[in-house]
A = this chain, B = another copy of it.
Amino acid sequence: MASPLLQKLIVIGVGLIGGSFALALRQAGMVKHIVGIGRSQKNLQRALELGIIDEVASNPISALKDADFVLLAMPVGQTSNIMAQIAPFLGSSTIVSDVGSTKQDVILAARTHLARHLTHFVPCHPIAGTEFSGAEAASTHLFCDKHLIITPLAENDDQAIKLVSTLWQHCGAKISCMAADQHDRILAIISHLPHILAFTLMNHVRTHVEDKLEEILRFAGSSFRDCTRIASSSPEMWRDICLANQEWLLKQIDAYQNELTNVRTILANNDGEALEKAFANARQTRQQWLKSD
């Protein structure tokens, strides 16, 4: 087994993503000691029981002192506060990275609160997850064959980027680099909009059918189940993501509504030919994607 790259890893937010990162690195023999920091002592204790972390930080500040690597894995809404809290206590060689689903806001927070540490702060986003959350949901294989996007800072130390890439490769991830605004636009399209649509579908059914909800949902099949799976995702996490990526997401919602209005018009006009064409285009686009994926 390879000798550990990290003597001490600190995971702030030992949930689905932070916990899975810890499990995967431990499995790969890449880390000697893992310390967990978080809001919920219950979740941290569970992470300890599950062998995700070796220690719950009794004193987060002193825990930071000799850390090789600090992973910020809490909901993105807490990024600024946490950065401000840890900044004074970071060792000069400690590498800090995050897993936020949005990058422009995280980078803005870093420029504000980690200004003297920007060489060693590498913004990242693993495109992986499930609708479940908490340490309980963590899995060693969550990142296998999944994309890990790095949106490097001009200030970044090459060695810091290299280490972050290596760690994620040991988690099984495929590494890509791109600009933060490109990342946020792409994620608004392929992830944030679909989550909004799924949450909205559940709320539409809830508000639209009211008291007859159970009578109706009992007939719902696999299509409804799949379309709404991500509506079981963490409300807090998705609140933060949507607010952080508000500008791109609003554009996506507007464009989607236009597309939906188009198909509504076609249907209202009984235009079977145009309707079949629209469905065939959608199907073809999806089949091409699946082939190339």
Contacts and interface: CB of A to CB of B under 8 A. Distances in A.
Q: How many chain copies does the complex carry?
A: 2
Contacts of A250: 264, 267-268
Given A223-B194, A250-B268, A255-B204, A214 B292 contact: yes
B286 A194 contact: no
Interface residues of A, number: 91
A191 B285 contact: no
A108 interface: no
Contacts of A264: 250, 253-254, 257
A2 to B, nearest CB: 28
A206 interface: yes
B239 A285 contact: no
Given A227-B198, A279-B199, A220 B190 contact: yes
Interface string A248-284: 0110111111011101100110101001111111110
B221 A259 contact: no
Interface of A is mostly: helix
Given A216-B186, A226-B227, A232 B286 contact: yes
Nearest to A126: B221
A43 interface: no
Contacts of A243: 267, 270, 272, 275
Contacts of A49: none
Given A197-B197, A200-B263, A243-B275, 4 more contacts: A129-B221, A190-B205, A204-B255, A208-B252
